[in-house]
Amino acid sequence: MTRFTTSRRAFLGSAAGMAAASLRAREAPASPRPRRLKVGLASYSLRKFSLDQAIEMCRAMDVRYITLKDVHLPMTATPDEIGAARAKLDAAGITLMGGGVIYMKNDEGQVRKAFEYAKTAGFPLIVGAPDPDAIPLVERFVREYGIPLAIHNHGPEDKSYPAPPDALKLIKDRDRRLGLCMDVGHTVRAGADPVKTVADCGDRLMDLHVKDLRSATDRESQVEVGKGIVDFPGLIRALHQRQFAGHIALEYEINEDHPEVGIRESLAYLRGVVDAVEAA
């Protein structure tokens, strides 16, 4: 039994009613009551679909927050094309929470291009993966453009940022607008506890990409959120306690040709847990 499973069972044992509510939410409509925590979607989950299709799917699933991947808003798009895409999101009632993941080398021209793209798109946050030697350059552009950047971790295969603490070591003494995007599944595979990471990273944690796993060592073991080993009640409770204001973005990477059922189930579970924790 993993520590993630144990922690989750402890939560369920101490708050059975709340847990039951979150589990029932798999089959029940989303509550109309406003949530303080922002549960939404990373558009990479819908990477096989056009932006127009993705927006319609989000509307059907009551997705109100989104982080856009460049498959839906290319970095080569013109300002007019970017403006048209933003107008479509606004018309659909979907709040743009950021863009990425955007990879960056230690190259001034490339980094400036990324920040110009983010500025034109109106991203409130860049989810990035800069090379470690590019961090001083990225910090300079964060200050120049006033756009925060959250470093995304990619698990044990990532030689630079397996887990959020690996990135934190490189930014802890830098501008406070340099932060972290915790990929929950990759964090587990890197041997770190996502719940503890929330506390350890403090206000440097700006964004989350959420996925669940059956195995803490197998990246191909992704399942719908709530069916795996990740302690989501504990994670949501930790985020609630620190009044997290960022995006809890479901990144559903399986069944890419027909992801709707899995996305709906995962969002229902996450929304149910949020409702349960915020009602406690």
pLDDT at 11 over 60: no
Q: pTM for the whole thing?
A: 0.88
In this structure, is residue 17 part of a structural domain? no
Rounded distance between C-alpha atoms, residue 240 and residue 97, angstroms:
18
List the CATH number of the domain containing 259.
3.20.20.150
**pLDDT of 97:** 98
Q: Which two tokens stand for residue 180?
A: 């972290």
Asked whether the beta carbons of 67 and 207 are under 8 A apart, the reply is yes
Q: How confident is the model at residue 35 (pLDDT cuts 50, 70, 90)?
A: confident
The predicted-structure confidence for 196-216, as pLDDT tens digits, reads as follows 999 999 999 999 999 999 999
Cis peptide before 101 (omega within 30 of 0): yes
Mean local confidence (pLDDT), 148-159: 97
Map tokens 């040709």 to a residue: 257
Q: Is residue 143 part of a domain?
A: yes
Of 21-30, 90-99, 163-172, the one with minimum mean pLDDT is 21-30
Q: Answer for the pair 149, 179: CB distance below 8 angstroms, yes or no.
A: yes
CB-CB contact of 250 with 42 (8 Å): yes
Torsion angle defined by CA atoms of residues 103, 107, 112 and 117, in that order, rounded to the nearest 10 degrees: -30
Structural domain harbouring 118: 3-11+36-279
- For position 13, what pLDDT does the model report? 40
- For residues 11 and 19, the answer to whether their CB atoms sit within 8 Å is yes
Q: 126 φ, ψ to 5°?
A: -100, 125
Structure tokens at 4: 């993630």
Please state the rounded mean pLDDT for residues 161-176. Answer: 97
- The tens digit of pLDDT for each residue in 233-253 reads 999 999 999 999 999 999 999
Number of domains observed in the structure of the chain: 1
Query: 51 CB contacts (<8 Å, ≥6 apart)?
Result: 72, 73, 85, 88
- Does residue 29 sit within a domain? no
Cα 47 from Cα 253, distance rounded (Å) = 9
Residue 174 scores a pLDDT above 50: yes
The pLDDT value recorded for residue 209 is 98
- Largest Cα–Cα separation, the chain: 54
One-letter-per-residue 3-state SS of 40-102: EEEHHHHCCCCHHHHHHHHHHCCCCEEEECCCCCCCCCCHHHHHHHHHHHHHCCCEEEEEEEE
User: Tokens 């830098």 belong to which residue?
Assistant: 174
